């Protein structure tokens, strides 16, 4: 018990250090970049000397010249002061993706109250001792790309746990795996509550409550309520089975399916949704009127999803298994890492460790398209289904902690 407590405390300290390193890097980047990169920072005298080769460096490339920040003699239009940048909201986010490598990226974002701009940084680990914070979404003023607020600029009310931030993938220098989807969706998983309270008190804050958004939420809740009873006893098999079914039907491998395909899937798994409710659901999800919807988004809308606290432990368990960050884990490694010593049935003497392990591997293997490996989406689907029948967060977390040692 004491070992687990010390381990948790060490993880919290490491996470806080990570965030502080990113904060410092953001401040350095934003305070210096505007001045250093400004093409007009040289004085006219410097330009004249450069043209006649009087600076002693001839026409050497800019990166080889000795240039001091304090020697800059002009005021740049894009300059930001430390005071302006200090009024910011820090938030943690994750990419909503079926790709394990992308879904487990450590992203830390900042919303700046001075100009309503935002930036997102990725904390990267290079080897054992070298780390770096790199821009993932460059600082700028961005607009919602989907939903009822499409086209509106992000403001303070858009940042809360569970909020989705959407960006056009083509507008950013992102990994190719992320660019496969035209819209990048980031889910806010935690925010700096102290900074949020300060910004609310220091600036005019107006929480927009969209009637349409409330109506959409009611549609989701109604459908989830209809299916809750049928999922309570077979949640794992339904969620994992549907995921496998969707991947098989998705011939284009782009993650999108038609309305007819979703109706057929619900029929195959004996999930009855009234026609009127299904049509209302489809109108909400197909906001681009393309007659195609991401099946991950469809599943979350129909069945709901586990909260971000639980998802954090699912990602942590998968990251421990997928240490090489390939996006899939061999079933052999799953067998080696899974430990059933603390399973309630084993502790009670009603089952052996091998029986519990075999049962788990059999259930997980049935949901996999390839029986020899487990992708992140298949791993997440398994625990998503398991989560439905577990009311207490701590009980669910223990189910992950004990076998995976996290």
Determine the average pLDDT of the residues in 320-335: 86
Looking up tokens 């003497």, which residue turns up? 349
Determine the average pLDDT of the residues in 206-215: 60
Identical fold at 83-208 and 308-404? Answer: no
Q: What is the pLDDT of residue 159?
A: 92
Question: Which has more pLDDT, 65 or 224?
Answer: 224
Phi, psi of 36 (to 5 degrees): -65, -40
The rounded mean pLDDT for the chain is: 80
Tokens of 82: 């430390």
> What's the rounded Cα separation, in Å, for the pair 120 and 186?
10
Closest CA to 106 of 10, 6, 7, 17: 17
> What's the rounded Cα separation, in Å, for the pair 348 and 127?
43
Q: pLDDT-based confidence at 66, cuts 50/70/90?
A: low
Which residues is 184 bridged to in the sheet? 167
Residues 6+ apart with CB under 8 A from 270: 230
Looking up tokens 């080696």, which residue turns up? 336
Q: What is the pLDDT of residue 211?
A: 60
CATH 1.10.238 for domain 212-303 = yes
> What's the rounded Cα separation, in Å, for the pair 24 and 123?
12
Q: How many CB atoms lie within 10 A of CB 186?
A: 22
Q: How many CB atoms lie within 10 A of CB 215?
A: 12
Q: Domain boundaries in the chain? A: 39-75, 83-208, 212-303, 308-404
pLDDT digits (tens, 9 = 90+) for 16-54: 777 787 888 888 887 765 444 444 444 444 544 554 454
Tokens of 401: 């902690």
Closest CA to 36 of 64, 81, 76, 84: 76
Q: What is the pLDDT of residue 44?
A: 46
Q: Count of H helices and E strands in the chain?
A: 16, 10
Q: pLDDT-based confidence at 80, cuts 50/70/90?
A: low
Residues 6+ apart with CB under 8 A from 223: 273, 277, 278, 281, 301, 302
**Among the ranges given (24-28, 79-83, 158-162, 348-352), the one the predictor scored with the smallest mean pLDDT:** 79-83
Q: pLDDT-based confidence at 176, cuts 50/70/90?
A: confident
Residue 318: burial class (beta carbons within 10 Å; 0-12, 13-18, 19+):
buried
Q: Indicate the class that CATH gives domain 308-404.
A: mainly alpha
- Write down the CATH number for the domain with range 83-208: 2.30.29
Burial call 364-381: b when 16+ CB within 10 Å, e when fewer: bbebbeeeebbbbbbbbb
Which residues is 188 bridged to in the sheet? 93
Determine the average pLDDT of the residues in 88-105: 89
């Amino acid at each position: 018990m004491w070992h687990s407590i010390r381990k948790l405390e060490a993880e919290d300290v490491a996470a806080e250090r990570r965030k502080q390193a990113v904060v410092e890097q953001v401040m350095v980047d934003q305070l210096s970049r505007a001045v250093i990169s400004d093409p007009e920072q040289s004085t006219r005298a410097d330009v004249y000397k450069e043209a006649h080769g009087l600076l002693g460096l001839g026409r050497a490339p800019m990166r080889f010249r000795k240039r001091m920040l304090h020697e800059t003699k002009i005021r740049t239009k894009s300059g930001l002061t430390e005071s302006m940048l200090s009024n910011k909201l820090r938030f943690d986010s994750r990419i909503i993706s079926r790709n394990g490598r992308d879904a487990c990226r450590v992203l830390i974002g900042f919303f700046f109250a001075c100009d309503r701009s935002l930036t997102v940084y990725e904390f990267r680990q290079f080897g054992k001792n070298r780390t770096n914070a790199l821009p993932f979404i460059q600082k700028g003023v961005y607009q919602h790309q989907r939903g009822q607020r499409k086209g509106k600029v992000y403001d303070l009310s858009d940042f809360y746990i569970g909020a989705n931030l959407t960006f056009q993938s083509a507008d950013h220098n992102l990994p190719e795996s992320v660019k496969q989807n035209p819209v990048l969706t980031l889910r806010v998983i935690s925010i700096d509550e102290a900074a949020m309270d300060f910004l609310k008190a220091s600036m005019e804050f107006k929480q927009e409550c969209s009637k349409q958004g409330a109506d959409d939420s009611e549609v989701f809740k109604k459908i989830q309520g209809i299916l809750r009873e049928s999922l309570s006893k077979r949640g794992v098999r339904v969620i994992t089975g549907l995921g496998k079914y969707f991947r098989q039907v998705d011939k284009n491998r782009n993650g999108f399916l038609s309305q007819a395909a979703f109706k057929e899937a619900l029929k195959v798994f004996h999930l009855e949704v009234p026609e009127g409710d299904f049509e209302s659901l489809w109108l909400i999800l197909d906001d681009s009127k393309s007659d195609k919807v991401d099946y991950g988004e469809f599943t979350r809308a129909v069945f709901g999803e586990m909260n971000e606290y639980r998802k954090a432990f699912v990602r942590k368990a998968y990251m421990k298994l997928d240490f090489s960050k390939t996006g899939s884990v061999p079933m052999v490694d799953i067998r080696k890492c899974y430990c059933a010593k603390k399973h309630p049935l084993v502790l009670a003497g009603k089952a052996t460790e091998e029986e519990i392990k075999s049962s788990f591997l059999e259930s997980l293997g049935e949901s996999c398209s390839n029986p020899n490996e487990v992708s992140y989406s298949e791993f997440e689907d398994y625990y998503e289904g398991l989560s439905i029948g577990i009311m207490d967060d701590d009980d669910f977390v223990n189910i992950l902690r004990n076998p995976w040692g996290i």
